[in-house]
Structure 1
């Protein structure tokens, strides 16, 4: 079963751009959008229930700077969330930002980010960046839950 990509960003423009990129260039991937850290966290609680039988995430892409629960705080919540169905501790998470200090980048990695990347401004570059991320985390990288005993 193909796993969903979760994209979390408070900017409707950014979600729209990513929706278009996936609609035109990355159609083999299923992406779900969240407008806030709170929205993703509520969803996480719902799908962590053992009675849930729908799709599960395979990759989280999130913005660092969001009101309410920002990307770094959301990562901490994700990594601490217990679930028998989903190993939130090892789920790949990539943080996007337009601007960050070294201290902010370090804090993201300490919170559990697998990568922290600068958002590309040109649509072609952003498309290439997303394609590379999806290829690596969903196709090439072998996570423990992808390997059959």
Structure 2
């Protein structure tokens, strides 16, 4: 029996940024489904209630790409909630944001981020970052097998 690939969860309020990410994932032949949550509240709804809401997959994501600055519950609060939840804390969380502020970087690692990447301005640089994410997190790393 073949186990379906776990999704990649992108928590991103910008439709334009999500579209560019999706294009870059397709270019690098990502086989995993890519899901989008448009804000922190929607992400926590899915992650803390997975398997209960038929609108969401009954499986947790392989990795989470998390934007920091979103309306409502921001990325920092989402990260803190994930890393304090015993069922979710082992999912790798990659902060993927425009902020290169040293305080944001320190705060995110203190809260348990597994990686911190700044969003590049140009599309070719975005493709390269996505290639590195796919290669490292989805092809090279041994990820935990939750649910």
TM-score by length of 2: 0.85
Structure 2 contact 37–43 (Cα < 8 Å) conserved? yes
Spell out structure 1 runs of 4+ moving beyond 6 A. none
**Whole-angstrom distance in 2 between the partners of 1:116 and 1:77:** 17
Structure 2 residue 101 is the aligned partner of structure 1 residue 101: yes
Q: Report the counterpart of residue 76 of structure 1 in structure 2.
A: 80
> Is 1:113 paired with 2:113?
yes
Residue pair 2:51, 2:59 contacting (<8 A) in 1 also: no
**Aligned-pair Cα RMSD in Å:** 2.2
* 1:51-62 paired onto structure 2 within 5 Å: 54-62=58-66
The structure with more helix, counted as a fraction of residues: 1
Gaps of 5+ in 1: none
| 1:33 aligned onto 2:36 | yes
Counterpart position of 1:133: 133
1:46 Cα deviation after fit: 2.0
Q: Offset of 1:17 from its aligned partner?
A: 1.2
Structure 1's 82 and 118: CA in aligned 2 closer, same or farther, altered over 3 A? same
Aligned length, in residue pairs: 141
CA deviation after TM superposition for structure 1 residue 104, in Å? 1.3
Q: Which has the higher contact order (CA 8 A, sep 6+)?
A: 2
Instruction: Measure the CA separation in 1 of the matches of 2:130 and 2:114.
Output: 15
